[in-house]
Structure 1
């Protein structure tokens, strides 16, 4: 098994969430779906909180809404969360390698499934480089 990931969305990100779940399972990840169960109107902060509470050192998260912006803002309100809204593969790699992001945020209305797959693969397979970046990440707690 490649590892664990928890995923959530709102109604605006539901279709991409379903796509991402299949992709992640095909990649060998153990996927926990934090909801919603259908594409009905719902509040993204609720699902951002659910995923943020389940993310740990052993489990990354993915949040999807219409733009990715609301999810990233809501998730980053939670202690220990470093949610990164990414629109390309390079951003996803740097979010993990330099910022030790633990939640990837995507916008279903901004990117299609092909680009989403590239971003998810980059995020999930890039490791944090530590070293000088760790010193900077530790400063987050002082903000």
Structure 2
């Protein structure tokens, strides 16, 4: 993680901002409840709220009231935010490949991806039960 953080390819967004954009971009309709976003990123809830506000101010995400929960907030990625995310993602994937990809062969990478998917699904199931 230190190597990936050190080699993070963008001076335009931080690794934490990228993490938020990544999670929103993967959500259905590229929209995610703020409550759910808090469960998927690696920073604390107050930090996520401040980070989202900074991304809103930069025009990279938008916040909307949750129509199903008057207290909730939906966060969506804007077209500008998605374009920036994709640009940084390509470079970031190259860094990941250089640090991790060369240590594993194709079968091991497929196994790792399957295990990560299972872990992600387990965490998501646990979060929904909470």
TM-score (norm. length: structure 2) = 0.26
Rg larger in structure: 2
TM-score (norm. length: structure 1) = 0.24
Considering fraction of residues, name the structure with more helix.
2
